[in-house]
Chains A and B, each alone.
Chain A
Amino acid sequence: MALDFKLPDIGEGIAEGEIVKWLVAEGDTVAEHQSVVEVMTDKATVEIPAPKAGRITSIKAKEGEVVPVGSVIWVMQTEGSGATPAPAKDSGAKPAPKAAQKAAPAAAPAKAASAAPKVAAKPAGGGERLEFKLPDIGEGIAEGEIVKWLVESGATVEEHQAIVEVMTDKATVEVPAPRAGTVVELRAKEGEVVPVGSVIFVMQTASGAAALPAHGSGHGGGASEAKPAAEKAAAKEDAAQRNGTANNTKVLAVPSARRVARELGVDLARVSGSGPNGVVRRADVESFARGGSRSAAPAGAASERAPARAPAPALALAPTERETRKPFRGVRRKISEAMVRSKFTAPHFTVVEELDVTDLVRLREQGKSVAAEQGVKLTYMPFIMKACALALAKFPQLGSALDEESQEVVTYNYVDLGIAMDTENGLIVPVIRDVQTKGLLQLGAELSELAERTRAGKVRSEELRGSTFSITNAGNIGGILATPIINFPNVAILGVHRMVKRPGVVETPEGDVIEVRQYMNLSISVDHRLVDGADGVRFLVHLKRLLENPGLLSF
């Protein structure tokens, strides 16, 4: 086999040697250990022997030439097929891949951007390469999960055509193409969580396509084209966006406070620090999470500027067959944070009342067909919502909130109802506005439309904010009773439970009779900081009155 003999480091750390004299000629046969060449180094002149017996097939350096350690100075054909090449000492190790590495960048064109190898040939007519970066599709979101690619690489797409479904802390949205063209590369896998600003797909725009949208992403080639002003503007925009995402002003906080803030989902910028120079301490974050919040975000919705990273698991256990692990993030984490905040901040108490809703059932049966004519599916919820709006008018303290900063109790003179909805991703609480102004049919229509969008993950983040009171309806699943957790910073939440038929005693002028009646439990959890027990009970009793006598709902 052929053996490349490389100049070894024959001193301790020499770098090169001068070929003084070849002691053999090409074609000579040599024995193992036979001297082949005389080499002079910084330290000494030495004879270098053959590492194997064989025939010198090629001499690679001239006498007088100075060659670096590790370069091939001769090639020989060694005897016997079983012969192993001399093990390379470190100095001479693996020059071939090294050389290849060296060659590669040299061969690559110097101009970088336009030469990315994955780009297909430019379509005639001169479109341009466009790298689409995941935009901040919420307010201050930091990352998004690629749920589903709606096109394949190579697809021709229209401007605004949906390309990918992305789920963020706040919502799942379809991200459209910024321009018409061809998608040439999908950069992220489904299920992957990518930070805002990273390129998720690359497209080759169609010629003559409109200019980039303002929030657009990086440019490809054509760097020297005549629109420096536009580019500058885009760069500025990018920078601004980056700054926005990174929450430009650096909050001074001790490291442990940063960790705890991350774990509790607290935005450090909102915590006032008690340390020197306003440094946020761990205790500040903890007390903020316990009750210092002035966040207006309802349960299930994202607070602004969510921390970017999920907390590391306490122990880095590898998944086993007995368990599966997935990152604690997105909606699930938001729910967790909201629940913890609510429970830690608001001292809850819960009251339960049983309602005889036989009349309500009857009324709803009657209303159903009327509603159906208008394309509305009428459930019990509009009745309950309406009853809440009326009861809140009578007991406004249940539709209030505490402004911690100003230390004021805010009472809302309108009713924006948060309706807790069970979705695949977990609990989401979209809001129906101004319930006090709306009729049953309108509420029914809005509710079913909102429910549909919520379950499809298409609800907008502004629809998740600003409720004044919330309702959670677990009745259609089961359970006779629950103690709901308040949708902070609301001060009350109504729990609606399953309807059951039971024999009931009905007072009639003829005396008490037993009839088949429909019953339902309502529970209400209230924040004892603002609402006392008696008020909670009064509110519930009033609701009972309204719903047991649904005719009153129209008064």
Chain B
Amino acid sequence: MATKDAKPDGQIRERYLDWEGAPVATLPSAGPEWFVELYSAMRYLRCVDERMLKLQRAGRVGFVGSMLGLEATLVGAAKAIRVDDWLWSGLREGGAALLRGLPLSEYIAQMYCNSFDTAKGRQMCNHFQHKGSHYPSWSSVIGTQIPHGVGAAYAAKLRGIPEVHTIFFGDGATSSNGFHSGMNFAAVWNAPCVFVCVNNGWAISVPSRAQTASGSYAEKAIAYGMPGHQVDGNDPIAVHAALTTLIERARAGGGPALLELVTYRMMGHSSSDDPTKYRDPKEVELWMGRDPLPRFARFLDAKGWLDPKAAERLEREHNQTIDAQIHVQEAAAPMPLRSLVEDVYADVPLHLRKQYNEFHRIAERLGEAQQGDGAFPL
């Protein structure tokens, strides 16, 4: 098990590596390739993130919620959550989903909100989903996914399915109704779920100290009657180990738990946000020094497992793959107009068919209707 390491910032967290990347606890028994894989996955996510920001700055996609700095939480979690388990998420877990099975093509299609997007362009950018890997659609409303995950976990229990529901949210969400009712219901129901609070220090511009008076987010668990763990979120080994433990505990009927991953959002809240307006640059500088990528590279290097050339080659390949996919997505056909009124209900009811037909008449006159956009039968 990882050590609890008291640090100058006063937080106690479980970790395997110190900030320099030196092991401070006995590493899990795994071959070098497992550790190398953690590293290349983090680099892959960083490539994706940087590309998406570039697209946003060029006006090619509308919005990005950057995961820069969070790669260790995402990679550690992605490797801990089995493919049959569920990932209920908020804004920044797309990277974990990508590693768990969300295809890159769907990821980028969603960023473009184009006609390849499985959500049919209904959501704004950066709101991913992937049914195949149990990664449900989520809303921009903070904390609402928490009781969903709990209800779904209860359903798994009732139906006798041995799956565990991991429910991700940020530090700000701990103040929401959903956090309270979700934690409370899960504990009362002994639901097979794990709450993962990705404490990245900031809810847009509101720092943790303005979010809660608790000593940590993890300790909130105690009041609900479940264990709470605070883990170094920039240490992928620690994230993986803690989450795996809690998932298997839940699977075994041990009930829910809260896992706080301490990390740092290195970018603004989103591509529309300028964090220099509200953040002390010294704090950013401090966390730049704790960037999980160089930290883990140092760990690998010390072990003699780092092949910088291979890593660079891999990164080039990643960028080529991503760019190729970007170009595919940019060639997507226009969104079918009918999708305006579809999926509101299982069937398109009469009033929506009428509304659409009224609109379609105009679209047709303006030459905006494409093949397949025809009127509904009434």
Q: Do any CB atoms of chain A lie under 8 A from CB atoms of chain B in the complex?
A: yes
Interface residues, chain A, CB within 8 Å of chain B?
Answer: 5-12, 14, 32-33, 35, 43-51, 84, 86-87, 89, 91-92
Bound complex: CA of A43 vs CA of B274, how far in Å? 6
| Stretch of B55-63, B154-162, B227-235 at the chain-chain interface | B55-63
Distance in Å from the Cβ of B196 to the closest Cβ of chain A?
27
Would you call B272 and A12 a contact (CB within 8 A)?
A: yes
Residue of B nearest to A91 (CB): B59
Given A43-B272, A45-B274, A87-B330: A12 and B58 within 8 A (CB)? no
Chain B residues with CB under 8 Å of A49's CB are 54, 57-58
Interface centre among B51, B54, B57, B331 (most CB of A within 10 A): B57
Please give 10 more A-B residue pairs, beta carbons under 8 A apart, in addition to A6-B59, A14-B272, A51-B59.
A8-B58, A10-B56, A10-B271, A33-B323, A44-B272, A44-B273, A49-B54, A51-B58, A84-B330, A92-B59
Tell whether B95 is near chain A: CB-to-CB under 8 Å: no
Would you call B268 and A10 a contact (CB within 8 A)?
A: no
Chain B residues with CB under 8 Å of A32's CB are 323
Residue of A nearest to B63 (CB): A12
Residue of B nearest to A69 (CB): B59
Distance in Å from the Cβ of B127 to the closest Cβ of chain A?
14
Would you call A86 and B58 a contact (CB within 8 A)?
A: yes
Q: Tell me the chain B residues, 188-205 only, with Cβ under 8 Å from chain A.
A: none
Bound complex: CA of A96 vs CA of B306, how far in Å? 53
Would you call B272 and A86 a contact (CB within 8 A)?
A: no
Given A46-B57, A50-B58, A86-B330: A33 and B272 within 8 A (CB)? no
Of A5, A44, A89, the residue contacting B268 (CB under 8 A) is A44
Chain B residues with CB under 8 Å of A86's CB are 58-60, 330
Residue of B nearest to A85 (CB): B330
Bound complex: CA of A396 vs CA of B330, how far in Å? 90
Would you call B330 and A33 a contact (CB within 8 A)?
A: no
Would you call A89 and B274 a contact (CB within 8 A)?
A: no
Interface centre among B59, B330, B331 (most CB of A within 10 A): B59
Bound complex: CA of A51 vs CA of B62, how far in Å? 14
Residue of B nearest to A8 (CB): B59
Residue of A nearest to B272 (CB): A11
Distance in Å from the Cβ of A51 to the closest Cβ of chain B?
4
Residue of A nearest to B58 (CB): A51
A-B contact pairs, 30 of them (CB 8 A): A6-B59, A8-B57, A8-B58, A8-B60, A9-B59, A10-B57, A10-B59, A11-B272, A12-B62, A12-B63, A12-B270, A32-B323, A33-B58, A33-B323, A35-B57, A44-B268, A44-B272, A44-B273, A46-B271, A49-B54, A49-B58, A51-B60, A84-B330, A84-B331, A86-B60, A87-B60, A89-B59, A89-B62, A91-B59, A92-B59
Residue of A nearest to B268 (CB): A44
Bound complex: CA of A45 vs CA of B323, how far in Å? 25
Would you call A48 and B274 a contact (CB within 8 A)?
A: no
Bound complex: CA of A48 vs CA of B330, how far in Å? 18
Chain B residues with CB under 8 Å of A10's CB are 56-57, 59, 271-272
Bound complex: CA of A87 vs CA of B56, how far in Å? 13
Residue of A nearest to B51 (CB): A33
Bound complex: CA of A330 vs CA of B56, how far in Å? 63
Chain B residues with CB under 8 Å of A33's CB are 51, 54, 58, 323
Distance in Å from the Cβ of B109 to the closest Cβ of chain A?
13
Residue of B nearest to A34 (CB): B54
Chain A residues with CB under 8 Å of B63's CB are 12
Would you call A48 and B57 a contact (CB within 8 A)?
A: yes
Task: Give the 7 A-B CB pairs with smallest separation, nearest first.
Answer: A8-B59, A44-B274, A11-B272, A33-B54, A51-B58, A49-B54, A12-B272
A interface footprint on B46-71 (CB within 8 Å = 1, 0 otherwise): 00000100101111101100000000
Interface centre among B58, B270, B330 (most CB of A within 10 A): B58
Bound complex: CA of A43 vs CA of B270, how far in Å? 11
Chain A residues with CB under 8 Å of B274's CB are 43-45
Chain B residues with CB under 8 Å of A5's CB are 58
Chain B residues with CB under 8 Å of A51's CB are 58-60
Distance in Å from the Cβ of A126 to the closest Cβ of chain B?
42
Chain B residues with CB under 8 Å of A89's CB are 59-60, 62
Distance in Å from the Cβ of B268 to the closest Cβ of chain A?
7
Distance in Å from the Cβ of A38 to the closest Cβ of chain B?
10
Distance in Å from the Cβ of A172 to the closest Cβ of chain B?
35
A interface footprint on B23-59 (CB within 8 Å = 1, 0 otherwise): 0000000000000000000000000000100101111
Residue of B nearest to A9 (CB): B59
Interface centre among A35, A84, A89, A92 (most CB of B within 10 A): A89
Bound complex: CA of A191 vs CA of B272, how far in Å? 60
Distance in Å from the Cβ of B123 to the closest Cβ of chain A?
14
Chain A residues with CB under 8 Å of B323's CB are 32-33
Chain B residues with CB under 8 Å of A47's CB are 57
Residue of B nearest to A5 (CB): B58
Bound complex: CA of A257 vs CA of B100, how far in Å? 68
Chain B residues with CB under 8 Å of A84's CB are 330-331
Chain A residues with CB under 8 Å of B330's CB are 84, 86-87
